[in-house]
A = this chain, B = another copy of it.
């Protein structure tokens, strides 16, 4: 089934992201991606189901790391602190990849269908985090709310990281976002 191509998967991902950025996601074909990567279409389909999957190929790994880090931390700390540990772990995973992540995000935000898929992935992370929290004895609705809070902090910290000029540590922005969420929820007088 075809000869082995060194780092075909990575080359295809790079080529796809370049083409999506240059001419738009809709306008790019698998044929063009394979050509840019110096590979065949057949090789493309050995690695990815379709051109959309190239953009979401690492989502599973990302979710797994986030949820596993939170689960491990839940053995010894409170839910909100376990979420902080998870946010720190995924910051580590994304460190040094901001240009690439930024290009990917620009492609996603330019296409409602990709944006919807991205939101579905986040919803899946939230559901899996809530599962993990329940397994560690957190009751509902606290488990779901903690999970949603974790994803909310991630979303805001992630956007700030993408938007920041110059060097900027994602883990610091995540911690700041979490502190802001704490301040916001603690800020009211209770109106009912």
Contacts and interface: CB of A to CB of B under 8 A. Distances in A.
Contacts of A180: 141-142, 145
A119 interface: yes
A189 interface: yes
A138 to B, nearest CB: 9
Prevailing SS type, chain A contact patch = helix
Given A141-B156, A148-B156, A159-B144, A188 B119 contact: no
Contact of A176 (B85, B141, B155, B188): B141
A185 interface: yes
Interface in A125-176: 140-142, 144-146, 148-149, 151-153, 155-157, 159-160, 175-176
Given A116-B116, A119-B123, A184-B146, A81 B141 contact: no
A112 B120 contact: yes
B119 A187 contact: no
A175 B192 contact: yes
A142 B117 CA distance: 26
Nearest to A114: B116
Interface stretch (A28-36, A46-54, A72-80): A72-80
